[in-house]
Amino acid sequence: MKTGRIIRSLSGYYDIQLPSGDIQRTRARGEFRKSKQKPLVGDFVDFESENDEGFIWAIHERENFLVRPPIANIDIAVIVTAAKEPDFAPNLLDRQLVALEAANVRPLIYFSKMDLLEKSEHEKINHVANYYQSIGYDVIFSDSKSAFEALKMMLKDHVSVFMGQTGAGKSTLLNHLSPQLGLETGEVSKALSRGKHTTRQVTLIEVDEALIADTPGFSSYEVFDFPVEELDDYFPEFVEKRQDCRFRGCLHLNEPGCAIKEAVAVGTITQSRYNSYKAFYELIKAQKPKYKTDN
Ligand SMILES: Nc1nc2c(ncn2[C@@H]2O[C@H](COP(=O)(O)OP(=O)(O)OP(=O)(O)O)[C@@H](O)[C@H]2O)c(=O)[nH]1
Ligand SMILES: [Zn+2]
């Protein structure tokens, strides 16, 4: 029995990379296909193989996984966030951060298109970025001299996936990291070929000493897949403060003695983050429970 990581899946076949770097092609056992458990790219699996004919026997427990792209055991998700064109939208960034926190994937915020900013806009973004750093997120600016090296350093020895809204610059950045990818960039060229790639499978590609998913991740349209009471778990600065709320289980909305609202009033938590919290709260409340199929 051997153990390795699935780096590509293609019509029922799985390419598994061994610790030595060798890649072997296998299939999943019939039982896997019958049961719900389906191997994902990124999974560590036990398998047997000889002469390129092999079978996966077991999938190791997953650290985490994403649905789009379908990939397991992700160390870092790079949220590519345009500082301009389209304008920076804190709500969108927060949505991705919350979704990643809920999925137990570590985010890294990459501000793209910094070169397009005027001086005053620059200061504004810096200010915003400082806040995100202060609550524990890594931030990289596209115009900093060492941006590229810093990113490479962070991705080294890790599995990463890139996400961000359309036009944020994901493909541009991925191409820069790995020119062999040859992803199309810009609206027009992509609009022409869109649809062709919709069923494309994700592959983990080796870039220097990093493994990067070649398919960008979910955007902001994802629904939140957790109960509303859990929402504050995914705002790290809320987690730190909420034990000071007067009521246990405080939702930080209209309750008296809410430490979160006090923190917003004195500015230790930004209004923008609190606005996102409230907006997501309403959103989750309005979402239909999954088990309901009618109305
Ligand atoms: N000035 C400037 N333009 C950039 C930068 N990054 C990307 N762009 C441009 O922004 C446009 C969109 O970039 P893409 O890389 O295609 O964006 P994407 O996130 O892959 O977009 P989708 O595939 O639609 O999700 C392209 O015209 C890029 O050339 C940057 O740092 N500075
Ligand atoms: Zn509270």
The answer to whether residues 271 and 137 belong to one domain is no
The answer to whether residues 243 and 263 belong to one domain is yes
The answer to whether residues 178 and 135 belong to one domain is yes
Q: Which atom of ligand 1 is nearest to the CA of 175?
A: 15
Q: Indicate whether this complex's ipTM tops 0.85.
A: yes
The answer to whether residues 179 and 250 belong to one domain is no
Domain CATH for 208: 3.40.50.300
The answer to whether residues 148 and 190 belong to one domain is yes
The answer to whether residues 56 and 27 belong to one domain is yes
Structural domain that includes position 125: 66-213
Please give the annotated binding residues, written as ranges: 112-115, 164-172, 245, 250, 252, 258
| Calpha distance 142→145 (Å, rounded) | 8
Q: pLDDT tens digit string along 148-161?
A: 999 999 999 999 99
The answer to whether residues 164 and 147 belong to one domain is yes
| Calpha distance 216→166 (Å, rounded) | 10
Domain count, the chain: 3
Report which protein residue has its CA nearest ligand 1's atom 24.
166
Report for 9-13, 46-50, 206-210, 240-244: range of highest mean pLDDT: 240-244
Is 200 contained in some domain?
yes
Report which protein residue has its CA nearest ligand 1's atom 31.
113
Is 98 contained in some domain?
yes
The answer to whether residues 70 and 209 belong to one domain is yes
Residues 6 or more apart whose Cβ sits within 8 Å of residue 199: none
Average pLDDT over residues 231-253: 97
The answer to whether residues 72 and 198 belong to one domain is yes
Neighbours of 171 (CB within 10 A): 20
The reply to whether ligand 1 has any atom less than 6 angstroms from the CB of 190 is yes
Domain CATH for 233: 1.10.40.50
Distance 291 CA to ligand 2 centre (A): 30
Is 223 contained in some domain?
no
Ranking 34-43, 123-132, 156-165, 238-247 by mean pLDDT, the lowest is 34-43
The reply to whether ligand 1 has any atom less than 6 angstroms from the CB of 116 is yes
Is 93 contained in some domain?
yes
The answer to whether residues 86 and 23 belong to one domain is no
Looking at 46-177, list the stretches that DSSP marks H as alpha helix, in order from N- to C-terminal side: 90-103, 119-134, 147-155, 170-177
The reply to whether ligand 1 has any atom less than 6 angstroms from the CB of 186 is yes
Residues with beta carbon < 5 A to ion ligand 2? 245, 250, 252, 258, 260
Quickly state the pLDDT bin for 180 (edges 50, 70, 90).
Answer: confident
Please report which ligand is nearest the Cα atom of 177: 1
The answer to whether residues 238 and 118 belong to one domain is no
Q: Which atom of ligand 1 is nearest to the CA of 85?
A: 10
The two tokens of residue 87 are 């304008």
The answer to whether residues 172 and 79 belong to one domain is yes
